[in-house]
Amino acid sequence: MRDLGVGFGRLLKGQRWMARHGRSYGFGLLPGVITLVLYAAALVALAVWGEDAVSWATPFADHWSSPWQGLFRGFLTAVLFALGLLLAVLTFTAVTLLVGQPFYENLSERVDAEVSPDGTAPRSRLPLWRELWISARDSLRVLVRAALWGVLLFALGFLPFVGQTVVPVLGLFVTGFFVTEELTAVALQRRGVELHARLALLRSRKTLVWGFGMPLALAFLVPFAAVFLMPGAVAGATLLARDLLGEENADGDWAPHAPDAPGAFGGWPDSEDAAK
């Protein structure tokens, strides 16, 4: 239970850090605004034509008597929209981070440098184009995993009672995990931690991850909230990444049960020296 509180504390601390650096806040909103407009258009299209899509996919119900046909197709339309909303939440972070990669990379470095005891931040040895390629590739891999979970939850949504109670809770856990993975990837990729190692880190501290990601996933369901929370979420995820790797902060705060060294998870042996 302690890790849940630590994870949530990192989320709040990231938002406070962003509030203290308001001059950069406006630039951090732009990628989220662009992504929000695209996603809003897709969800509106799903709401408008979702019923037609369900009718096309269920021709066997054309001759059902009223009210069963309407109830059946109405339920499927609602489930389809819920799945679209879940996928939007799962993928919003990845797309926003990709659009705003240079800004969020710089933001993460500034957080690292401010909380590090020696005032330095690990830096990637890779050129920007290579970082963008790795970020896009890894995001696609994560989104495939998230989509598989989404399909499974969609199927479970047809189960009576379970689909209306257990499935939404499971969806929140899944969303919180993958949202945290995408956000911490900014800081971890800069340290040379590959995708499989990032996933291993997150799985080793699932309660810490859920403490950070689940409240954020719930907040992302509120219209426009994701746009305003994204910059602070990146800042908080940088602090969380330091916890996962057992790195000391300037205030002496350590993460409990952290691994012995970043190199154990595939990071650069000394990211700061490697950048020189």
CA dihedral 124, 28, 101, 119 (to 10 degrees): 0
For the segment 257-263, the average pLDDT, to the nearest whole number, is 40
Q: Specify whether the CB–CB gap between 18 and 235 falls below 8 A.
A: yes
* Dist. CA 248–CA 99, nearest whole Å: 31
Asked whether the predicted pLDDT for residue 210 surpasses 90, the reply is yes
272: confidence class by pLDDT, cuts 50, 70, 90: very low
Asked whether the predicted pLDDT for residue 140 surpasses 50, the reply is yes
In the chain, count of helices (H) and strands (E)? 10, 0
For the segment 156-179, the average pLDDT, to the nearest whole number, is 84
Asked whether the predicted pLDDT for residue 121 surpasses 60, the reply is yes
25: confidence class by pLDDT, cuts 50, 70, 90: confident
For the segment 256-274, the average pLDDT, to the nearest whole number, is 39
Choose between 143 and 265: higher pLDDT. 143
Residue 258: what pLDDT? 41
Q: Which range among 124-128, 145-149, 197-201 has the greatest average pLDDT?
A: 197-201
253: confidence class by pLDDT, cuts 50, 70, 90: low
For the segment 51-58, the average pLDDT, to the nearest whole number, is 86
Q: Which residues of 42-59 are buried (b: 16+ CB within 10 A; e: fewer)?
A: eeeebeeebbeebeeeee
* Dist. CA 165–CA 48, nearest whole Å: 27
pTM: 0.74
User: For the chain, what is the mean pLDDT?
Assistant: 81
Asked whether the predicted pLDDT for residue 107 surpasses 60, the reply is yes
Task: List the domain boundaries for the chain.
Answer: 2-269
Residue 224: what pLDDT? 80
For the segment 225-241, the average pLDDT, to the nearest whole number, is 91
Residue 222, both tokens: 């509120």
Choose between 59 and 265: higher pLDDT. 59
* Dist. CA 231–CA 30, nearest whole Å: 10
Q: What percent of the chain has pLDDT over 70?
A: 90
Q: How many CA atoms lie within 13 A of 74 on its CB side?
A: 6
The pLDDT tens digits for 82-100 are 888 877 877 788 888 888 8
Residue 161: what pLDDT? 81
Tell me which amino acid residue 177 is: F
* Dist. CA 261–CA 274, nearest whole Å: 16
* Dist. CA 141–CA 125, nearest whole Å: 23
Asked whether the predicted pLDDT for residue 213 surpasses 70, the reply is yes
Asked whether the predicted pLDDT for residue 111 surpasses 60, the reply is yes
Q: Which range among 18-27, 117-126, 216-225, 249-258 has the greatest average pLDDT?
A: 216-225
Q: Specify whether the CB–CB gap between 93 and 182 falls below 8 A.
A: yes
